[in-house]
Amino acid sequence: MAVTRTIKGTLDRLQVSAGSEITFVGATAAGNVGDLTRGFRVNPAATGDIIVKIDKSSALNDIEIFREDSYSAGSAPTGYFKYFNIAKAGKEKGVVAVTVTDATKDYIVLMSFDSYSEASYTGSVVIP
């Protein structure tokens, strides 16, 4: 049975409402905090769809999701994308999703920002 976790974060931290399925990866460019890309890991308990929904953000350009051990593995469920350009959509919100076919694998959500000082986001993650 899928669970939904509420997330809230900045470039330097991530708060999750409950559970241990989501862990903050932090700066992705070899730990370079000057890089404006951050990530978090999702560990699913079963097969199904991981859906990451950003309800509100500031300075968030785009978001993408992929299986940690294979960028090209996995497909987006019907009606969703694995990559979404939030800045282009101009709504400060967006959704990405991927279908989990192997629950032993972890998934990475990457977020790219255009500003360090204003970077923030709130949303939810549905985890199978």
What residue numbers bound the domain in which 61 lies?
A: 3-127
Question: pLDDT band for position 1 (50/70/90)?
Answer: confident
Question: Which CATH number do you get for residue 114?
Answer: 2.60.120
Helices (H) and strands (E) in the chain, counts: 1, 10
Contacts of 33 (CB under 8 A, 6+ apart): 11, 12, 26, 27
Q: What are the pLDDT digits (tens) for 16-35?
A: 999 999 999 987 666 566 68
Is there a contact between 115 and 71 (Cβ–Cβ < 8 Å)?
Answer: no
CA–CA separation, 50 and 37 (whole Å): 20
Task: State pTM to two decimals.
Answer: 0.93
Total domains present in the chain: 1
Closest among 92, 35, 32 to 62, alpha carbons compared: 92
